[in-house]
Structure 1
Amino acid sequence: MEYELTVIIPVYNEEENLLRVKEEMERFIKSAKKKSKVLFVNDGSKDNSLNIIKKICQNNTDFSYISFDKNYGLSPAIKAGFDHVQTPWVGYIDADLQTSPMDFNLLLPYADDYQLITGVRANRKDSITKNLSSKIANGIRRTFTHDGMDDTGCPLKILQTKYAKRIPMFKGLHRFLPAMILLQNGKIIQTPIEHFERVAGKSKFHFWNRLIGPFSDCFAYLWMKKKYINYKVEEKKI
């Protein structure tokens, strides 16, 4: 049976989490409603993450990796994943495991009818400052994009790969994935998932880069929306 879903896991200095990631992803793969595999994207980690990833992927066909020459950021890591995926569906989860891979099974039933399915983090286990900044940022994005999504930053998503590959990614655009699917006339839906406290490693985001960056990115999105090329071929003979 061929793989149907590839789960992208961007990694930047997550050595303390990776063995737990392996265990949780193996647990999901055994129960997955579509045959699934994992693609680590090492984003220029400066700790021992790459060596751990190599050991995880050794002699395990369900796990593979690509590794950057330096740190580029989350959006480039996701784009690299999209570029290398060959399965019909592509998923995305953070290496901090504040969301559970098992919840992909809550998203997968929608995969045949929607081009993007995203989780909504229920009962978030983050600090008051982090929750507030995310709530403000989501409100700003909804105002600009009208995507109707309550938690676009949720790091648990599934996309149809052919739509994911057509997204013109730029830094910060990982927050606009639902809106970019809408630009392609795709359908999107959200569903509640569990959220957990970070138990190891350090967050790569803080109050200001959750607000200032996303706010300026909204203007980039508006420009792209105005200039975006979208067409549908009715007939062809090639």
Structure 2
Amino acid sequence: MIYEFTIIVPVYNEEDCLPQLFVQLKDYLEVASKKTRILLVDDGSSDQSARLIMDFCNKNEHFSYLIFERNFGKGAALKAAFDHTETPILGYLDADLQTYPQDFEKLLPFIGEYDLVTGWRRDRKDTFVKRISSKVGNGVRNLFTRDYMHDTGCPLKILKTSYAQNIPMFKGLQRFLPAMVLLQDGKIKEVEIPHYPRLAGESKYNFRNRFMGPLMDCFAYVWMKKSYIKYKVAQKNE
């Protein structure tokens, strides 16, 4: 089968969420407007996530996986998946089911005109501390990146694969995807999507890694922006 769209799902210690995630993904494949494959990336989980992923993918068409030998971080999981994607567009979704794969259908109509389309969780279903820390972190990133996204960290995005594969590897990659597309002279758009409360498992984030870590990543982004190389070939002979 020739696929048109790859959904990437980075996973780290989400064994409690995975059974329902698998159901949601299979249900979405039945109604997806594009021929879609799923690529699950286990980021060195210490629970049973990797085993569950391998067992499920080996029994279900349209599902594949990458298993890291140890924990490298979400940015690495996304970059590895970008590099292993062959479809013209890709998207990503967190495994915690606070966003649903069905909502890719809200983003897909815009991917022709735009090079990245990201969700905007306007009505967040998180704890007060998580909402505030995310708002502060997003504000700090906007000061550095000037991408003016309301919800840069929304874990539901679609990108054209050519743009995704031109993004250089660095920690915290996922926080800068809109800015990295703008560096390539791409066009970005936000679309409001629903947000759902976490039903199982535990959040991996707190104020420290939602603010201090992203703040340090912003300095790395500024350095990278100054050093970023881009070019366009006008002509070539064969």
TM-score, normalized by the shorter chain, greater than 0.5? yes
Gaps of 5+ in 2: none
Q: For the residues of structure 2 that align with 1:112 and 1:193, how far apart are their CA atoms?
A: 19
Aligned match of 2:114: 114
Paired residue for 1:78? 78
* Cα displacement (A) at 1:148: 1.5
Equivalent residue, structure 1, for 2:232: 232
> When the two structures are superposed, what TM-score results if normalisation uses the length of structure 2?
0.98
Equivalent residue of 1:58, what SS?
helix
Aligned to 2:139: 139
Equivalent residue, structure 1, for 2:127? 127
d(CA) in 2 for partners of 1:213 and 1:200? Answer: 25
Give the alignment's Cα RMSD to 1 decimal.
Answer: 0.9
Structure 1: stretches of 5+ with no match in the other structure:
none
User: In 1, Cα distance between the equivalents of 2:94 and 2:30?
Assistant: 20
Deviation at 1:19, TM superposition (A): 1.1
3-state SS of 1:95 partner? coil
SS of aligned partner of 1:153 = coil
What is the number of residues matched between the two proteins? 238
The CA distance in 2 between the partners of 1:100 and 1:173, in whole Å, is: 22
Q: Which residue number in structure 1 is paired with residue 12 of structure 2?
A: 12
Counterpart residue identity of residue 45, structure 1: S
**Partner SS state of residue 37, structure 2:** strand
SS at match of 2:119: strand
**CA separation in 2, counterparts of 1:22 and 1:37?**
13
Moved over 4 A (4+): none
Establish whether residue 188 from structure 1 lines up as the match of residue 188 from structure 2.
yes
Q: Give 1:29 deviation, angstroms.
A: 1.2
Deviation, 1:15, is: 0.7
Shift of the alpha carbon at 1:216?
1.2
TM-score (norm 1): 0.98
Residue type of the partner of 1:36? T
Aligned to 1:158: 158
For residue 221 of structure 2, what is the aligned residue in structure 1? 221
